[in-house]
Amino acid sequence: MSAYDDRLAAFVGRELVARRPAADPVNVPMIRHWVEAMGDTNPRYLGADPVAPASMMQAWTMRGFGSPATAGAFDELVALLAEGGYTSVVATDSDLELEREVVPGDRLTVEEVVESISPEKVTGLGAGRFVTTLKTYRDATRGVVATQRWRTLRFKPAATAEPRPRPAINLDNQFWFEAAREHRLVVQRCLSCKTLRHPSGPCCPECQSFDWDTVEASGRGTLYSFVVAHHPRHPAFDYPLLIAVVELEEGTRLITNLTGVTSDDLRIGMPLGVEWLDADPELTLPVFRPTDLQER
Ligand code: ZN
């Protein structure tokens, strides 16, 4: 166990919230508000000799809205968990056990202790620790009315790095993406009539020949058209996203992203040069940067 684990373990059994009395005794008006809000028409709650709904347990002793929180062990534990990187929290379950019915006139108190803190577990939300606390509700004689086990997952939010969407790679365009991985911008050329074409395809649209090779592009081009995408947002991209049609020196056009420029500085026909975006180990894509902005 690390020193950090020891510090966490020291919290197990500790009182997080000292015994706190409910502001009011259990009473019919609050029961009435509750069952009306919940739409619960069980006659046991508002008839002769009423009982309070079990689900109200927490409500009786809940700190009033606006009443100051008391700093204490709970804040210390939250700070210690945050120190370990466990900054996010999600409630995972609440297990309420009743010892007896709660009835109008009961004066309740609640106290809360830490029951357990799990070793770090890997969850879908990120690595985290399950913190289980036990609330004990008592009446005026200190008799236990109910217990509530409350489990939360305190977790390190998982990195949200999302890969770029995959292009659909097939036998007709594979060569282009393979060249891109080597930081080479290529254009498909018909072997028969020498026409360049992009996007690539199996057959020459000019002479219908299936024979082709490639030529290496200079990487210079001009801005033919562009759009600025704001929505919808995909987590793999930075916004506003500049999407351009670039006309290469060789004459073919390709759809790409622009970098090193804001939309305000874009103008149709401006000269551009290729750069390479190694998006992830499997995917490299050309992007284009204005080549005349530096001169201003
Ligand atoms: Zn051809």
CB neighbour list of residue 284: distance below 8 Å, 6 or more residues apart: 177, 180, 181, 183, 276, 277, 278
Contact 41, 55 (CB under 8 A): no
- What type of residue sits at position 171? L
Q: How far, in Å, is the centroid of ligand 1 from the Cα of 191?
A: 7
Q: How far, in Å, is the centroid of ligand 1 from the Cα of 252?
A: 14
Q: Which pLDDT belongs to residue 92?
A: 83
Distance CA 216, CA 54 (A): 75
Q: How far, in Å, is the centroid of ligand 1 from the Cα of 253?
A: 17
Q: How far, in Å, is the centroid of ligand 1 from the Cα of 167?
A: 26
Containing H/E element for 83?
Answer: helix 73-83
Task: Give the DSSP letter string of 184-219.
Answer: --EEEEETTT--EESS--SS-TTT----EEEEE--S
Q: What averages of pLDDT result for each successive group of 10 residues across the chain (296 residues)?
A: 89 91 95 95 93 93 76 86 91 92 96 94 86 96 96 83 85 95 97 96 96 97 96 86 97 96 94 92 92 66
Q: How far, in Å, is the centroid of ligand 1 from the Cα of 174?
A: 20
Q: How far, in Å, is the centroid of ligand 1 from the Cα of 286?
A: 26
CB neighbour list of residue 270: distance below 8 Å, 6 or more residues apart: 222, 223, 290, 292
Q: Which pLDDT belongs to residue 296?
A: 44
Q: How far, in Å, is the centroid of ligand 1 from the Cα of 187?
A: 14
Task: Please report, for the chain, the start and end positions of each structural domain, with discontinuous segments joined by +.
Answer: 3-36+51-58+66-155, 174-295
Mark the residues whose beta carbon lies below 5 A from ion ligand 1.
190, 192-193, 195, 204, 206-207, 209
Q: Which pLDDT belongs to residue 234?
A: 85
| Neighbour tally for 47: CB within 10 Å | 9
Looking up tokens 């200079």 gives 218
- How much is the CA Rg of the chain, to the nearest whole Å? 33
Q: Which pLDDT belongs to residue 1?
A: 67
Containing H/E element for 135?
Answer: strand 126-138
Distance CA 33, CA 36 (A): 5
Q: How far, in Å, is the centroid of ligand 1 from the Cα of 68?
A: 80
Q: How far, in Å, is the centroid of ligand 1 from the Cα of 245?
A: 23
Angle 8-12-18 (CA atoms, 0-180°, nearest 5)? 115
Q: How far, in Å, is the centroid of ligand 1 from the Cα of 189?
A: 8
Q: How far, in Å, is the centroid of ligand 1 from the Cα of 254?
A: 19
Q: How far, in Å, is the centroid of ligand 1 from the Cα of 198?
A: 13
Q: How far, in Å, is the centroid of ligand 1 from the Cα of 209?
A: 5
Distance CA 191, CA 186 (A): 15
Q: How far, in Å, is the centroid of ligand 1 from the Cα of 196?
A: 8
3.20.20.70, 3.10.129.10, 3.40.50.12160, 3.30.70.20: which CATH number matches 3-36+51-58+66-155? 3.10.129.10
Q: How far, in Å, is the centroid of ligand 1 from the Cα of 212?
A: 8
Contact 99, 144 (CB under 8 A): yes
Distance of alpha carbon 295 from its chain centroid, rounded? Answer: 41
- Between the alpha carbon of residue 180 and those of residues 62, 173, 217, 253, 283, the distances in Å are 61, 11, 11, 16, 8
* Tokens read off for 59: 């409500």
Report which of 94, 131, 135 is spatially closest to residue 12, judged by C-alpha positions: 131
Q: How far, in Å, is the centroid of ligand 1 from the Cα of 197?
A: 9
Q: Report how far apart the first and last C-alpha atoms of the chain are (Å, whole number).
A: 60
Q: How far, in Å, is the centroid of ligand 1 from the Cα of 179?
A: 22
HSE of 58, CA atoms in CB hemisphere, 13 A: 10
